[in-house]
Amino acid sequence: MLLKTLIKLFNRDLNKLKTEVQLYKNEANLWKTSKGVTNSAGNLCLHLVGNLNAFIGAALGHTGYVRQRDLEFSLKNVPRVDLLNQVDAVMLTVNKTIANLTVDDLCKEYPIDVFNEKNDNRIFFSPSFYTSGVSSWTNKLP
């Protein structure tokens, strides 16, 4: 039941991300920033996809994903349809990875040192760990 709930939560939040990306009337605004906004919505979307592919897909699902974190912030003007396709793809990766885990797997030590200390896998299964701040994008830019 817990694993099914995690899948539902990730799907809910990733679908919310897709909705936020689709709400931009002018696609070019996905790549703009304004005062108080350091990263564009497009770059935050790429970063979120990178986080999920690295921290869940590669680390726990052994997908072979190789992260290029610098590109998550330096790429610009990626077409909206490509962003949405990347979100769909990472949703499938997350779903498959979680579906192949057991509840006991969640308590195992996480295979990557992320916070300069040992952690169990549970911290990486909080959708808000990845999606916090997503809904504020459309409130800041037209």
pLDDT tens digits, one per residue of 16-57: 999 999 999 999 999 998 888 888 999 999 999 999 999 899
Contacts for 1-6: CB closer than 8 Å, 24+ residues apart: 2/103, 2/106, 3/98, 3/99, 3/101, 3/102, 3/103, 6/98, 6/125, 6/127
Residue 55 falls inside a structural domain = yes
Which residues, 6 or more positions from 105, have their beta carbon under 8 angstroms from its beta carbon?
60, 121
Residue 129 falls inside a structural domain = yes
Whole-prediction pTM: 0.86
Give the C-alpha separation, 27 to 47, whole Å.
18
Residue 142 falls inside a structural domain = no
Check whether 115 has a pLDDT greater than 80.
no
Q: Which residues pair with 109 in a beta bridge?
A: 120
Average pLDDT of the residues in 71-93: 97
State the angle between helix axes of 2-22 and 80-99 in degrees (0 to 180), rounded to the nearest 10. 180
What's the domain range around 80?
A: 2-137
Residue 116 falls inside a structural domain = yes
Cβ atoms within 10 Å of 6's Cβ, excluding its own? 20
Among 135, 133, 128, 132, CA closest to 6: 128
Check whether 64 has a pLDDT greater than 70.
yes
**What is the tally of structural domains in the chain?**
1
CB 95 within 8 A of CB 11: yes
CATH number, domain with residue 14: 1.20.120.450
Residue 48 falls inside a structural domain = yes
